[in-house]
Structure 1
Amino acid sequence: MTPLRSSSRPLPPINWRWLHTLAVIGLILRLGLALGSEQIHHPDEIFQYLEQAHRWVFGYGYIPWEYRFGLRSWLLPSWIAAPLYLCKLLHWDQPHLYIPLVKTLACLGSLSVIYSTYFVGRNLSSERSGQLASLFTCCWYELIYVAPRVTPEVVSTYFFVLALAIATRRSPHPEPKTRPKTMWLWGLLWGVSSGLVVALRLQYLPPLAVMVALVLWQQPKLIRNGGLVGMAIVLLGVGWLDAVTWGQPFSSYGQNYLFNKTYGVSSLFGIQPVYYFLESLTYASGGLWIGMLGFIKPVIDRGWLPLASAGIIVLSHSWIPHKEHRFIILAIPLLLLVMAMVLDHYGSSRLTGSSRLTSEPSPSSRQPTWDPRRIFTPLLGTGKTAIATLLVLIIGLGGIVLPPAQGVYRGFYGSPLVGQLYSLTTRQPTLDSYRILAQEPDLRGILNLAHPWFETGGYYYLHRDVPIYFAEHQSLWTGETLGDYVSHIICRTDCPPAPGFQLWQTVGDLHIWRATVSPPVSKILDLDLKNVLQEGVDDRYKPPF
């Protein structure tokens, strides 16, 4: 097996001129989907992180049960709060400004996986493996889809692959020429990245533990010391943050384990079979990962670490009763790395000459016309290998609109009709309706008859501190005029008109009705609408805070 220690044979300097171009293409793909669509895969994206950052900066928002019982660290919401606070200072605090800003920053951060997989593939296998790995992570639809989503599993994935790139790093110079300070700083960056992996997603500790053990065993002392300092900094930081926000160091991690593992609260949201992740990975990849296993033997000696990490992620999560495909998103870039090594192994033997794109042709061999074969043949390979490489790219890009997206990424929102193709570029009317109402000057209150609270955009999308009522509140207006409490109603297009309201906007399959008369003083029901209760939790346990 390939060791992690820097090789005595140093890597050649990095001069693949297409790497940054590939990152730009990746950014265009990610921003195109992020800004061209309006879609949320799971309510946690909004209410556990975006909504809490909004509540921190602007002072209002929904409070789900996890934040009443202290199950969540404020680490990720505090990062999201930074650009929101900047928007507040600059008076750009409108959803049509700060939502694209947060998405853009998230997409920029997601580019790290393109660079990291390039270096991991290059370090563990060859230049062409790194190039293929970066190409695949650039174009794979799942990584494009999650790029604008600021959730623990997604952000933790970026830090894990970055840590892997540093752990497998080989210097372009012989090791004695590497400055001690440089080695220590690389170790520090690796330690910080590794610490943040666990701080954000504790369930990623098993695969990280393997990498940490190997680094501490094989890497030079300076890198080990820098890594330990980096992990200590993160450990102290998240402990301090919990002490400030929850009153006790590491309180959120203890509460999370208590409720989800000891009390089994996570099972309230569904229990899936042990084979769920094997099934979802097969379905989401069009069977690609299953096919790869038949050709993996020649690359196990150098690709065992990403392969083992992906396997550990799937196996460790398979024993958790409540399963969602998004929990194992880290496995995707790791499997793409292994796929790159497999195609490199079988493709290099079919190429004539060097398999590297870094070599420049001699002056006598240069041709006056641009020949695309000189660019693409060394990367894609020839014959069956080229077809397999193109198949990965077709599934990767086509997954945005092709059947792999069905069922796996449909989530809670925008469920398609029977026989209707669901695209990951679809705009969800429930989110668009809130963004439209955010611009309405006469907004006094909303009655949402189309969706429950967890299928909306929350106050992060609305950004108006007005009461939002739902279908369960309708009976409270007995004998009173609805227009005294709300100015707008959101309902399906087949709902009957309400007295005193007229149709104002149609957004997809939703109608927005507006009150024809505004009362001098708007009434508000005496309800705590922002502390939303969770059945099976609030009726059994008492918040400790």
Structure 2
Amino acid sequence: MLSAVALLPGVIAVAQLGRIHPDEVFQALEPAWWRVHGYGVLAWEWRDGLRNWAVPGVLAGFLKLADALGITEPRAYRAVLAIPQAALHAWSLWAAYRFAERRAGPTGGGWAALFVGLYGPVLVFAGRTMAESISASLLVVAMEALDRRERETRAGLVGGLALGLAVVARYPSAIFVLAALVWLAASRRWRLLAFTCASGLAVALALGTLDWATWGTPFHSFVAYARFNVFSGRAAAQFGADAPGFYVKPFLAAVPLWLWAAVPSALSALRQRRAISLPLWCATAYAGVLLATAHKEERFLYPALVLLILAAAPSVVTFLAQEFGPRTRWSLTGLALVSSLAVGAVFPSGDLRADQIRAIVAATRGDARGLLIVNEGLWGSGGFFYLGKRIPWLTCDWPRDAAFQHALRDARFNRAVTFEDRALKELQAGGFRIIGRIGRETMLSRGE
């Protein structure tokens, strides 16, 4: 059952395409394409060295494998790239089961793992090449490892490895690392703490070596990222700043109804001065930092939400098992799972533009020599990764834009995709004819 659930996010991402945020393409897929093929669109972070090459490097390896197997259709090689992430997600769900099993028994552990795996935002995020997606899966693995009471040496090595890799995938996850180390120290679990630090240090040294090899200086990307996002205030100046209340609406939208049933248990632990669970502590510490950080985005909540679900699910499952008979328990559990799934319809709240990416893939098959994308900017496009070939392409908003006028004059541009039919009449007047529609996108061709 968990194996099938683990595959769902990857299957959804490949079948749906689209992107949660431009970073899904331009911080992972497009750099991997550039690494393999020698061309592509590199975002400013890759010019200034704010990113490390670990995740794009792994994806590039699987992209090379796809090339070696003769897989050249974008959706097909995107499916190949989903393999490592699906394996990571499966590991995280197994970790969620182990974490919950200690508190709710084997049956309760299975149900709690389903609560995590079928949580709507997990289904949306976990199959996508977002830094938050990869980091959150690794954090779940780390939470389970550091929760163990047996074989602490191995637990520390696994936990430190997962925490370190979570930071490599997404530098703000260093907040979770610091919170976890404080929790271990407060719990006086010194052996576990020591091996966690040793394993994490090994990952840090590997990151330093990678940056040295790719950027010319050890830890170049981490230092550049911290300088831009933490110490200079440039992130807020460039991308905007918001009050702490920014997160209230997305948080409330993302929390399934059943999670509130775990609040009394957490409050009781505090009153009795019992230690709260590691994932709850880490999620709370991270949320506090998010509230205090000027630049805010809805997607930043995702890792904390996953850890909250992980922390709450065992107590809710135990409560249902203890307080209700089989028929009522099954009904309430079913309703809880439905409420978890439903959250995926409202979080994240942005437009995935899945029909646009699918239309771009469809329009550029065959003898496409150039593509014009109307009603979309550069960072909302699919890059060369979803074109799958080295052809000229342009984005524009209106027929009066220079890119639109250039594409109409250049005979190489024999394909066009327009969102919500913007400039459709002007495209048809320029010799394009409609060849199909996918959702809100219209595909056009000319010269045939």
- Give the TM-score category using the shorter length: 0.7 to 0.9
Asked if the contact 1:299–1:341 (Cα under 8 Å) also holds between the matched residues in 2, the reply is no
| 1:454-465 matched pairs, under 5 angstroms | 454-465=379-390
Listed as ranges, the gaps of 5+ residues in structure 2 are none
Q: 2:359 corresponds to which residue? A: 433
Asked if the contact 1:49–1:76 (Cα under 8 Å) also holds between the matched residues in 2, the reply is yes
Between the aligned partners of 2:324 and 2:106, the Cα distance in structure 1 is: 14
- The alignment status of 1:265 with 2:196, answered yes or no, reads no
- The alignment status of 1:325 with 2:298, answered yes or no, reads yes
| C-alpha spacing 1:112/1:482, structure 2 compared with 1 (3 Å) | same
Between the aligned partners of 2:73 and 2:262, the Cα distance in structure 1 is: 47
Q: 1:190 corresponds to which residue? A: 159
- The alignment status of 1:398 with 2:342, answered yes or no, reads yes
Question: What's the CA shift for 1:126?
Answer: 4.7
Q: 1:281 corresponds to which residue? A: 251
Cα displacement string for residues 131-164 of structure 1 (whole angstroms, at most 9, x for unaligned residues): 3321211211111111211222221112222112
How many pairs does the alignment contain? 437
The alignment partner of 1:254 has SS state of helix
The alignment partner of 1:42 has SS state of coil
Between the aligned partners of 1:163 and 1:504, the Cα distance in structure 2 is: 50
Cα displacement string for residues 387-428 of structure 1 (whole angstroms, at most 9, x for unaligned residues): 55333211112334xxxx23x3232544xxxxxxxxxxxxx2
| 1:231-310 matched pairs, under 5 angstroms | 231-261=200-230, 262-290=232-260, 292-298=262-268, 301=274, 303-310=276-283
The alignment partner of 1:145 has SS state of helix
Asked if the contact 1:27–1:111 (Cα under 8 Å) also holds between the matched residues in 2, the reply is yes
Amino acid at match of 2:20: H
Asked if the contact 1:62–1:458 (Cα under 8 Å) also holds between the matched residues in 2, the reply is yes
- The alignment status of 1:516 with 2:447, answered yes or no, reads yes
- The alignment status of 1:142 with 2:99, answered yes or no, reads no
- The alignment status of 1:156 with 2:135, answered yes or no, reads yes
The alignment partner of 1:484 has SS state of coil
Question: What's the CA shift for 1:337?
Answer: 2.8
Question: What's the CA shift for 1:75?
Answer: 1.4
- The alignment status of 1:205 with 2:174, answered yes or no, reads yes
Between the aligned partners of 2:12 and 2:442, the Cα distance in structure 1 is: 25
Cα displacement string for residues 215-255 of structure 1 (whole angstroms, at most 9, x for unaligned residues): 4664464x555434322221111111111111111111111
Question: What's the CA shift for 1:40?
Answer: 1.2
Amino acid at match of 2:141: L
Asked if the contact 2:89–2:126 (Cα under 8 Å) also holds between the matched residues in 1, the reply is yes
Q: 1:466 corresponds to which residue? A: 391
Question: What's the CA shift for 1:71?
Answer: 1.0
| C-alpha spacing 1:452/1:478, structure 2 compared with 1 (3 Å) | closer
Q: 1:43 corresponds to which residue? A: 22
The alignment partner of 2:323 has SS state of coil
Q: 1:83 corresponds to which residue? A: 62
- The alignment status of 1:410 with 2:349, answered yes or no, reads yes
Identity %: 22
Question: What's the CA shift for 1:459?
Answer: 0.8
Cα displacement string for residues 261-314 of structure 1 (whole angstroms, at most 9, x for unaligned residues): 304234433333202333312112255545542453345536432222111121
The alignment partner of 2:394 has SS state of strand
More helix by share: 2
- The alignment status of 1:68 with 2:47, answered yes or no, reads yes
CA RMSD, Structure 1 to Structure 2 (Å): 2.8
Asked if the contact 2:183–2:278 (Cα under 8 Å) also holds between the matched residues in 1, the reply is no
Asked if the contact 2:244–2:292 (Cα under 8 Å) also holds between the matched residues in 1, the reply is yes
Amino acid at match of 1:447: L
Between the aligned partners of 1:156 and 1:319, the Cα distance in structure 2 is: 21
Listed as ranges, the gaps of 5+ residues in structure 1 are 1-20, 172-177, 353-376, 415-427, 518-545
Q: 1:313 corresponds to which residue? A: 286
| C-alpha spacing 1:287/1:274, structure 2 compared with 1 (3 Å) | farther
Asked if the contact 1:431–1:457 (Cα under 8 Å) also holds between the matched residues in 2, the reply is yes
Between the aligned partners of 1:237 and 1:219, the Cα distance in structure 2 is: 26
Q: 2:409 corresponds to which residue? A: 482
Asked if the contact 1:104–1:148 (Cα under 8 Å) also holds between the matched residues in 2, the reply is no
Q: 2:102 corresponds to which residue? A: 123
| C-alpha spacing 1:516/1:254, structure 2 compared with 1 (3 Å) | same
Amino acid at match of 1:482: R
Question: What's the CA shift for 1:49?
Answer: 0.9
Asked if the contact 2:258–2:316 (Cα under 8 Å) also holds between the matched residues in 1, the reply is no
Asked if the contact 1:504–1:513 (Cα under 8 Å) also holds between the matched residues in 2, the reply is yes
Asked if the contact 1:123–1:168 (Cα under 8 Å) also holds between the matched residues in 2, the reply is no
| C-alpha spacing 1:320/1:210, structure 2 compared with 1 (3 Å) | closer
- The alignment status of 1:449 with 2:379, answered yes or no, reads no
Q: 1:97 corresponds to which residue? A: 76
Q: 1:166 corresponds to which residue? A: 145
Asked if the contact 1:73–1:242 (Cα under 8 Å) also holds between the matched residues in 2, the reply is yes
Q: 2:315 corresponds to which residue? A: 342
| C-alpha spacing 1:60/1:412, structure 2 compared with 1 (3 Å) | farther
The alignment partner of 1:88 has SS state of helix
Question: What's the CA shift for 1:214?
Answer: 4.3
| C-alpha spacing 1:499/1:253, structure 2 compared with 1 (3 Å) | same
Question: What's the CA shift for 1:440?
Answer: 2.0
The alignment partner of 2:444 has SS state of strand
Amino acid at match of 1:486: F
| C-alpha spacing 1:315/1:478, structure 2 compared with 1 (3 Å) | closer
| C-alpha spacing 1:224/1:485, structure 2 compared with 1 (3 Å) | same
Asked if the contact 1:43–1:412 (Cα under 8 Å) also holds between the matched residues in 2, the reply is no
Between the aligned partners of 1:69 and 1:299, the Cα distance in structure 2 is: 47
Between the aligned partners of 1:103 and 1:54, the Cα distance in structure 2 is: 15
Amino acid at match of 2:254: A
Larger-Rg structure: 1
Between the aligned partners of 2:307 and 2:403, the Cα distance in structure 1 is: 53
Between the aligned partners of 1:97 and 1:226, the Cα distance in structure 2 is: 41
